[in-house]
Copies of this chain bind each other. A is one copy, B any other.
Amino acid sequence: MAERKRRLVSDELTAAALELLTVKGFDVVTIDEIAAAAGVSKRTFFRYFASKEDVVVQFLADLGTGMRAGLAARPVGERPSVALLHAVSVPVRACGDHADRALRVVQLILRTPALLARFLERQARWRDELTAELALRQGLDPDTDLYPRLAAGMALTAFDAVLQRWSDSDGSEDPAELTARAFAVIAPALDAP
């Protein structure tokens, strides 16, 4: 019950923030403005989000959370390129589902340096998680073998390229198809003996 109210305030805040930021630009909008639009005080904003960037980035970050789970769910014998393709497809599909809102968020992030920076930092954490999961799958030691970290990095590189292309095309290109094409390029390295 109190949980539902918290969720409601959080949603109100993100909605107000995304609306204002995408329309007016990241730098010119103040936290006071966002908080006022959501009907709360600036102090309350910071009780829900750690920073101004967070309110945007967390929207995408939630999409990335399922990636490790998506990888863990794949059968152990599967080729890494296929397993990673499915893992990356989780956030990609999520983008396709909320295409309208997701596209605006992605475009905002990619053209705002401060947001891009924070987004990439989040992604670095996903990479650590993917690395651990991959090492587990393949029975490799991530402290001696470079493969797990490189494979995770390549998968996220593919993800970034897809987002970039999707954003540049204003959503006209199909994310799933882009992902498949990107993985076709990196697969030879992922599946090498």
Spot the interface stretch: A8-16, A25-33, A35-43, A160-168. A160-168
Is A150 a contact of B157 with CB atoms below 8 Å? yes
Chain A, 51-68, CB within 8 A of any chain B CB:
none
**Does chain B have a CB within 8 A of A121?**
yes
Tally of this chain's copies: 2
Give the docked Cα–Cα distance between A186 and B146 (Å).
Answer: 10
Q: Are B153 and A160 in contact (CB under 8 A)?
A: yes
| CB < 8 Å neighbour of A124 from B116, B147, B153, B190 | B116
**Cross-chain contact A185 with B189 (CB below 8 angstroms):** yes
Residues of A bordering B, CB below 8 Å? 113, 116-118, 120-121, 123-124, 143, 146-147, 149-150, 153-154, 156-158, 160-161, 164-165, 168, 178, 181-182, 185-190, 192
